[in-house]
Amino acid sequence: MAIRTVTDAIRYVGADDNTLTLFENQYPVQPMGVSYNSYVILDEKIAVMDSVDARAAEEWLSNVAQVLEGRSPDYLVVTHMEPDHSGSLMHLAQRYPEMKLVGNAKTFTMIKQFFGTGALTEGRMLEVGEGDTLSLGTHRLRFLMAPMVHWPEVMTAYEETEKILFSADAFGRFGALERTARAPWAPQARRYYYNIVGKYGAQVQALLKKVSALEIKTICPLHGPMLTEGLEEYLQLYDLWSQWKPEEPKSILIAHASIHGNTARASETLKGKLEGKGVRVTLCDLTVTDLSYAVTSAFYCGKLVLASSTYDGGLFPPMKAFLEHLQAKGFRSRRVGLMENGSWAPAAARLMRAELEKMKDLRLCETEVSLRGALNQTSEAQMDALVAELCAE
């Protein structure tokens, strides 16, 4: 990844990773890849803003050295200790033994956990707290704590002169910068938010309240592109997402888990009936769609229909996994319809209802569609009643 100019005094020195298959070993990121972002502020004193994953250490160290042009950095600011950002920090600390690391109390607790209690001397640890500042010369960093966005040690740094928010993982997006330079921000930022940060909406709201008082011209996240235009849209989306509100309140996601195809065909029929009423519908086959995309679609839409086969008297595993993921990510405040299938002992609706009761502010439709294999006259009448309920709001 080439060095990029952010401003006259600030350089991007991060690295793209086009070989990673699963981000956090669970979220597919091919063929888009992912970026590990790091920045250098050049002033009377020099601050490196975060390190990168160990996979990209060599490239990052080379980029930093190239930007420094023989100078030594005074500070390495650590806004987030997750290994995809802290994996290379000790390499830089060892290369520049006079450099201090800047973090909060939890940052240094984690550094000792990851790298050993003797990794840094006390004199090399500069602890900061809420509202503290660090002067570099003409540039000054102000630190805003952002615990649980999405780790407990997370903090952001606002550069007051050029009005840049170094936002840690907030406003991040999947996608290597070179591969996704022309891609819109929202689709992969939305998937990143709901699957990684989404559980911590209240904490994101607290951070948004803090930054609302700032004039921000640029957002520099730890993944994805630097944001310089349309910041109001990005802030509004984060506000919406962190309140678990749908972007399309009237749209409906039909998420189905079908064993032999009958539940899938019934879902297609339901989709057609809803579209005939002018409703925008997304169909998601949980047996082939990665859960990170399915979860994102559920949050995007204002209504959800769950259609699942019964499996050995239980809930078909793809549907169970989907519901467990929704609960883990804080899914709430939606209208939900149920459709079950079971040739000899249908139980899916009851079991899905039990899972949904673990979530907040969900309103279940009174009508449940119950199939006995294929769609028949009785179950189609139930489907028509469900359509009427879903379209009534």
Q: Is the dihedral of CA 297, 299, 300, 305 positive or negative?
A: positive
pLDDT computed for residue 345 by the predictor: 87
Q: Is residue 77 part of a domain?
A: yes
Residue range 177-201: mean pLDDT, rounded: 96
Q: Which domain holds residue 308?
A: 252-388
Q: Are 68 and 330 in contact (CB under 8 A)?
A: no
pLDDT computed for residue 374 by the predictor: 86
The helix/strand/coil state of 57 is helix
Residue 237 and residue 288 share a domain: no
Q: Which pTM does this prediction carry?
A: 0.95
Q: How, if at all, do strands 248-257 and 218-220 pair? A: unpaired
Residue range 136-142: mean pLDDT, rounded: 98
Contacts of 9 (CB under 8 A, 6+ apart): 41, 42, 43, 138, 139, 162
Residue 327 and residue 293 share a domain: yes
Percent of the chain with pLDDT strictly greater than 70: 100
Among 341, 345, 344, which Cα is nearest to 319's? 341
| Tally of structural domains, the chain | 2
Residue 305 and residue 213 share a domain: no
The CATH code of the domain that includes 156 is: 3.60.15.10
pLDDT computed for residue 46 by the predictor: 98
Phi, psi of 28, rounded to the nearest 5 degrees: -60, 135
* Helices 377-391 and 262-276, packing angle to 10 deg: 40
Residue 235 and residue 327 share a domain: no
Q: Is residue 317 part of a domain?
A: yes
Environment class of residue 125 by beta-carbon count within 10 Å: exposed (0-12), middle (13-18) or buried (19+)? Answer: middle
The CATH code of the domain that includes 309 is: 3.40.50.360
**pLDDT (tens digit, 9 = 90+) per residue, 316-370?**
999 999 999 999 999 999 999 999 999 888 999 999 999 999 999 999 999 999 9
Residue range 168-183: mean pLDDT, rounded: 96
Q: Is residue 393 part of a domain?
A: no
Residue 373 confidence class, pLDDT cut points 50, 70, 90? confident
Residue 261 and residue 217 share a domain: no
Partners of 49 in beta bridges: 39, 77
**pLDDT (tens digit, 9 = 90+) per residue, 194-227?**
999 999 999 999 999 999 999 999 999 999 999 9
> Is the pLDDT assigned to residue 234 strictly greater than 90?
yes
Domain boundary, last residue among 241, 262, 279: 241
